[in-house]
Amino acid sequence: MKFNSAVSIENIATFIDAKIIGNDKGIVTGINELHKAEAGDIVFVDHPKYYDKCLQSKATFIIINKETIVPEGKALLLVENPFEAYSNIVKKYRPFEPSSQLKSDSAVVGYGTFIYPNTFIGNHVRIGRNCIIYPNVTIMDYCIIGDNVTIQSGTVIGSNAFYYNSKKDREVWYKPMPSCGRVVIEDDVEIGANCSIDRGVSHDTVIGKGTKFDNMIHIGHDTVIGKNCLFAANVVVAGVVTIKDGVTLWGQVIVNKTLTIGENAVLLGRTGVGGDLEGNKTYWGAPAQDARTAQRELVWIKRIPELWEKVMGKKG
């Protein structure tokens, strides 16, 4: 999330009661989680396992609970509870805004767009020209919809991320990261019925131009889907996934978090993806592998009883 205007690190430190170590004259332009950090951002880290990764990230300012060596040009914000400090910053700069009407006064809808009854459009939403939004669609705060977009009934755009801070030494183990990111749907996209697209935790979930979704598809937080992709029904994509242009996912494909699928890859139905996949190939199975290899293996598996009988017959 980018702030509406830059904020001095001194003001942030005062707000969260933090000790600044390093560059105490820096200017903060936004807040982010580690996977999406950019220069000028604040991130937080509260586990030694991730200290080095966080310090070496693109983030300029790190909320942390242990004093350590500061990379040049960066600053640490030393606090007892980095997660609570991070959450308080999000709540300050992206506060909850209630809305009691179906279309917020702050939402902007382009010329030629038709919105059916019983659709909810939240605060600061922008919808482009010549879109059709069917009944019972929900578009939550700050989401952006391009031109010539179709969204079928029952779909939710911008639901909160399924993303939690986990600590086993407190009464409530899982505390939700406040979702301050957006969903950005580019031009000429079609979204089927009863889909859910989560907003980014602190960045954007993006659906690229010309991409088409069937019904009942879930897209996790901060995932970026390229142009002209095709997703069949019941596809599930976890958070922080990158899917390049021209990818086809057939029915019931499941994609694990924080991985990349290359351009023009085709994943056949019920494929399970646990790692990065090269583009311009066809995959099948769980875990995903080259479809021709998987099919040959299946043929040989079916022949095992026959081969066993031959082996045992020779021994007899």
Count CB neighbours of 160 within 10 A. 15
308: tokens are 């066993």
DSSP-H helix ranges across 119-265: none
Name the phi and psi angles at 59, rounded to 5: -60, 145
Peptide bond into 287 cis (omega under 30): yes
Q: How far apart are CA 314 and CA 126, in angstroms?
A: 74
**Contacting residues for 140 by C-beta, under 8 A, at least 6 apart:** 122, 125, 156, 157, 158, 159, 183, 199
**CA–CA distance from 151 to each of 26, 47, 185, 254, 264 (Å)?**
43, 41, 10, 22, 24
Name the residue among 1, 121, 21, 126 with its Cα closest to residue 75: 21
Q: How far apart are CA 277 and CA 289, in angstroms?
A: 9
**CA–CA distance from 287 to each of 186, 291, 314 (Å)?**
31, 11, 36
Q: 218 catalytic, yes or no?
A: no
Out of 35, 47, 218, 221, which one is annotated catalytic?
A: 221
Name the residue among 163, 208, 165, 166 with its Cα closest to residue 183: 208
Q: Are 32 and 41 in contact (CB under 8 A)?
A: yes
Tokens 């909160």, residue located: 160
Catalytic residue list: 221
